[in-house]
A = this chain, B = another copy of it.
Amino acid sequence: MRAELLAVGDELLYGDIVNGNAAWLGGQLADVGVQVSTSIVVGDVIADIATAIVAALDRADAVVLTGGLGPTQDDLTREGIAQAAGVGLHRDAAEEATLRRRFEEMGRSRAGSGGRGVPEMNFRQADLPVGAQALPNVPGTAPGIRMEIGSGVVYAMPGVPFEMKDMFTRSVLPDILRRAGEPAVVVHRVLRTAGMWESMVAEALADEVTRLEPLGNPRIAFLASGGQTRVRITARAADRLAAQELIAPVEAAARVALGPGLYGVDDDSLEKVVLDLLGARGATLAVAESMTGGLLAGRLTDVPGASAVLRGGVVAYATEVKSSALGVDPAILETVGAVSPETAVAMAAGVRERLGATYGLATTGVAGPDEQEGKPVGTLHVGLAGPDGATTRTVRLPGDRRRVREFAVVQALDVLRRVLTGVAAAGDFGPWVPTGPR
């Protein structure tokens, strides 16, 4: 089975937006073993859309198209498909009725009015090439299109990413797999790790990858970004349950191999996991930041409802603010310096006490571009103070200022996670130095 990607839109051609849909679709198709040999972008021109479809179907079995399905004059994908197939357009009565109902639900038209007041142009979205089937757009309005041309097929989806992803997963991918004679359901499972580099994760799972390689299903992929590594397990099967049964033993083996590096699955985020761990214990948190300069608090407050657990934080950027606002002993700053495990612990203890939190979490280090106190760029000391004592972890992070600061946030959250879950002693990359009774 060979597929080609086709995206329609002047805004893609002229760089106003990046073609992220193609990247996502390419990854999805690769995961299920569909070969993607070409990805094309054309502008809002009927002839260009039609020519690209005909050329693509000459090389491949399926064209997966995004964009150009909206209501305005420059949305011309419907016309392009019709021209490629040599047919006309007709207004689909069922789709038009669905649109009128949707506009009422969205409050764009008075309930029971049959969509009155919505500009007529919007109902262009119910036009279909003769012989095409509509694909349901659950989160949006414009339906997708499935059109057989010769022995090939064109699937057209909206360009809006969340509408496209829903339609692809719901309608397009199952149809592609059915045509390919492949089992029709694809299930992903994502395992999320923190405190492990991609190479460590790959090494931990090397045996499982080797075992699965000749089978081809399930597949394992490693995805690293923002200082975290994800493991994606993808299975194809006749139904959802069978796919989950294929994933289960791989996930079980991966969980053992990843050990305490695993913090969550699927859409979990490290900051949410940490806040939930604290919340479940009735505990609160305060943060003290030097190296991360507010990014750690910023990440935690990204989570709606963080205020139930996070009391607040202090960004102690100037050295003397570490003493005045956090109570760090000036003698520590003078003797071992602001970038030290001792300062990290004192910052954590200080913010814990001053903001009245169960735990205090602190970062100090060297983000670059220049070294500081003779300590190299990438040096990070995390300090953690709790009701029973305090501890630190020291690591050396790679990358430029932006990456070092981003990685430091993940490291700090991971230190707290490991202490809260009691796996701290497993420390994958540096010993723990208890600095008080626990």
**Selected contact of A24 from candidates B12, B15, B306, CB within 8 Å:** B15
Instruction: Tell me if A126 counts as interface (CB < 8 A to partner B).
Output: no
Decide if B38 touches A14 in the complex (CB within 8 Å).
no
Instruction: Tell me if A89 counts as interface (CB < 8 A to partner B).
Output: no
Contact status of A36 and B13, CB under 8 A, knowing A294-B313, A301-B315, A315-B312? yes
**Selected contact of A298 from candidates B45, B292, B304, CB within 8 Å:** B292
Chain A 279-305 residues near chain B, CB threshold 8 A:
287, 289, 292-302, 304
C-alpha spacing A307/B295, complex, angstroms: 15
C-alpha spacing A161/B293, complex, angstroms: 28
A-B interface, 8 closest residue pairs, ranked by CB to CB distance from nearest:
A293-B301, A294-B297, A15-B27, A294-B298, A15-B26, A15-B23, A294-B294, A313-B315
Decide if A325 touches B37 in the complex (CB within 8 Å).
no
* Contact residues in B for A41 (Cβ distance below 8 Å): 5, 22, 38-40
Q: Which residues of A contact B (CB under 8 A)?
A: 5, 12-20, 22-28, 30, 36-43, 45, 48, 52, 55, 287, 289, 292-302, 304, 306-307, 310-318, 321, 324-325, 354-356, 367-370, 401-402, 405
* Contact residues in B for A17 (Cβ distance below 8 Å): 23
Interface centre among A18, A36, A294, A299 (most CB of B within 10 A): A294
Q: Which residue of B lies closest to A25 (CB)?
A: B15
Q: Which residue of B lies closest to A28 (CB)?
A: B15
Contact status of A313 and B314, CB under 8 A, knowing A13-B37, A15-B27, A296-B294? yes
Q: How many copies of this kind of chain does the complex include? A: 2
Q: List 5 A-B contacts (CB under 8 A).
A: A38-B40, A289-B294, A294-B296, A311-B321, A324-B354
Contact status of A12 and B39, CB under 8 A, knowing A296-B294, A301-B317, A325-B314? yes
**Selected contact of A355 from candidates B12, B45, B321, CB within 8 Å:** B321
Smallest beta-carbon distance A197→chain B, Å: 17
Q: Which residue of B lies closest to A317 (CB)?
A: B312
C-alpha spacing A307/B320, complex, angstroms: 11
Decide if B42 touches A13 in the complex (CB within 8 Å).
no
Contact status of A18 and B16, CB under 8 A, knowing A294-B313, A297-B315, A315-B301? no
Decide if A304 touches B26 in the complex (CB within 8 Å).
no
C-alpha spacing A17/B39, complex, angstroms: 13
**Selected contact of A13 from candidates B26, B45, B55, B306, CB within 8 Å:** B26
